[in-house]
A and B are shown apart, each in its own frame.
Chain A
Amino acid sequence: DAGVIQSPRHEVTEMGQEVTLRCKPISGHDYLFWYRQTMMRGLELLIYFNNNVPIDDSGMPEDRFSAKMPNASFSTLKIQPSEPRDSAVYFCASSPGVGQPQHFGDGTRLSIL
């Protein structure tokens, strides 16, 4: 079975540029999550969707961050404009339902210069 697929695996870009991270969840999973991992804050939830609808975006740091899920098999996390402090590893995860473990992708390592 294909797991959660994230792209790109690595992204290096200059401050001020738009960054788009992509995620394909596991087929049949109704929930999709975006996380950010940094040394300072650890693994923190940014936003999650249920059936393509955003449920909790309280972790989104600021208006520069936006996430969409146009269909059940695709989601994007966009940062515009990007800043050096956005440098982190961004993970996408999906789960079949409430109370079910989340399955993670291998992450996108983002570096903003």
Chain B
Amino acid sequence: AQSVTQPDIHITVSEGASLELRCNYSYGATPYLFWYVQSPGQGLQLLLKYFSGDTLVQGIKGFEAEFKRSQSSFNLRKPSVHWSDAAEYFCAVGARYGGATNKLIFGTGTLLAVQP
């Protein structure tokens, strides 16, 4: 069965410090992988996605993620965190269906706090 694990429920980093959020997935084939960010009381914004090709993908707001098949991981990174990055981050795996992303399975999320 497909699943996504985000081991860190809550992370606090200092502004300007680097960030890495962990994500591990379980999927029977090559997955579609996503990172979303959610601000309090709002919907989800797509940060980046991996479908195929280069395993290091660049996203919005200075985020990047690296797909490592051998480790079943898709960790999110940012070299220098800004206070506005404080939010909840969700990793998701998408089931392929008919050539399009269909059902998304989400991890439990990582809440990021940024200290001044």
Q: Do A and B bind each other?
A: no
